[in-house]
A = this chain, B = another copy of it.
Amino acid sequence: MHWTASATDGAARAGILATDHGDVPTPAFMPVGTQATVKGLTPAELAGLGAGIVLANAYHLHLRPGSEVVRRLGGLHAFMGWEGPILTDSGGFQVFSLAKLAAIDEDGVTFRSHLDGSTHRFTPELVMEIEAALGADIVMAFDDCAPYPCDEPSARAAMERTARWAERSLAAHARIQAERPWPWRQRLYGIVQGSVYPALRRESARRLAELDLPGYAIGGLSVGEEKALMLDMLEVTVPEMPADRPRYLMGVGFPEDVVAAIARGIDMFDCVAPTRQGRTGAAFTRDGRVNVENARFAEDGQPLDPECECMVCATWSRAYLRHLFKSGEMLGPRLLSHHNVAFLVDLTAEARAAIAAGEFDAWSARWTRRYANTPQAEVSCTS
């Protein structure tokens, strides 16, 4: 089995995700390495802080340096120097959000690169070729990711197209894996769409489940809707997803969202927040988010989070980290990114232990109360 449950506690699940590049305990936070680098951090650091799997992005890597270049250099693992599992996003989200969209039709999408305006075309089949060239352990189907807000007919059209494209992605993926495999197995995940419409979400999940894929993601959330609405969507969608397959909530999250989503049965997460926030001086701590440039840290000799065991908290004071940011030193963004990624990874490890102990509800209530009820929360919650 690709994923095996080891414990459940209410809807929350702990398990093991097995890949040819190693096993990953779930719930798992996957640091985002869009351009084949988790911004500022080395693979050795990521492994050291406990990350088990990292993300990369087919859209970005296709445009630069080119997926065939990555293939010729031995695939993403060799290229970026990460020996653990990798998941590539298909670029569905980026094509609709980042690129200049020229046209969508039933066959695919024609768009212009956000880098140089050059014209490109993605179809499910072409994206499967790109992801095969990159060589990740888990590859995402090409989906039609509706924007938010989106009226119901448009959301239905995008959801139905996503379902048809998932079938085509699967056929192409199976063909390519048979014709030209890497020495390791690549697994295709489907992406549930449906915007904020419960009926569409349920239908999307059911239609994808028929494809018997090794894993399923929930896409098109955390795109601007209210948090309560996102959680509602999880509650209607998750029960329709196969219980024996891993569930991946795309683009989430912030620590509080990760905890809330684990409670609703999610196993895998990715989000740029830890590194993006870290680059601006915002740090996650068990007592909420803080901005290290705050004047009250000027002579504060304590670690960022006294309970954190990461390299940053073991070595430097808040005063030093503040100095790095005040001085515009590149070590500052690096160290805060490191701490924030470690914080998310540790959070999922704590959640896993709580699930295994059958104490998830008590743990998550305690964790959430402490994280939210803090005089230190100074940073707005938008990413």
Binding site for B on A (CB under 8 A): 35-37, 39-44, 64-65, 69, 72-74, 79-81, 298-299, 301, 311, 315-317, 319-320, 322-324, 326-327, 329-331, 333-335
B315 and A35 contact, CB distance less than 8 A = no
Q: 8 closest A-B pairs (Cβ-Cβ)?
A: A81-B315, A35-B327, A37-B331, A65-B323, A40-B330, A37-B329, A81-B316, A79-B320
Given contacts A72-B299, A81-B315, A331-B42, contact A324 B65 (CB under 8 A): no
Given contacts A41-B331, A299-B69, contact A323 B36 (CB under 8 A): yes
Give Cα distance in the complex from A330 to B41, angstroms. Answer: 9
Give Cα distance in the complex from A114 to B191, angstroms. Answer: 54
A298 and B79 contact, CB distance less than 8 A = no
B residues near A81, Cβ cutoff 8 Å: 315-316, 320
Given contacts A79-B317, A327-B64, contact A301 B333 (CB under 8 A): no
Given contacts A42-B311, A69-B298, A79-B319, 14 further A-B contacts (CB under 8 A): A35-B323, A36-B320, A36-B323, A37-B324, A39-B331, A40-B334, A44-B315, A64-B323, A69-B299, A69-B319, A74-B301, A79-B323, A330-B330, A330-B333
B residues near A320, Cβ cutoff 8 Å: 36, 73, 79-81
B residues near A44, Cβ cutoff 8 Å: 311, 315
Could you pull out 30 A-B pairs where Cβ atoms are within 8 angstroms?
A36-B323, A37-B324, A37-B327, A39-B330, A40-B330, A40-B331, A42-B315, A42-B331, A42-B335, A43-B315, A44-B311, A64-B326, A65-B298, A65-B319, A65-B322, A65-B323, A65-B326, A69-B298, A69-B299, A69-B319, A72-B299, A73-B299, A73-B301, A74-B301, A79-B323, A80-B320, A81-B315, A81-B320, A330-B330, A334-B334
Give Cα distance in the complex from A293 to B162, angstroms. Answer: 39
Give Cα distance in the complex from A74 to B320, angstroms. Answer: 11
A329 and B73 contact, CB distance less than 8 A = no
B residues near A324, Cβ cutoff 8 Å: 35, 37
Indicate the member of A44, A317, A327 with the most B CB atoms within 10 Å: A327
Whose C-beta in chain B lies nearest to the C-beta of A38? B331
Least Cβ distance of A73 to chain B in Å?
6
Indicate the member of A72, A301, A319, A323 with the most B CB atoms within 10 Å: A323
B residues near A323, Cβ cutoff 8 Å: 35-36, 64-65, 79
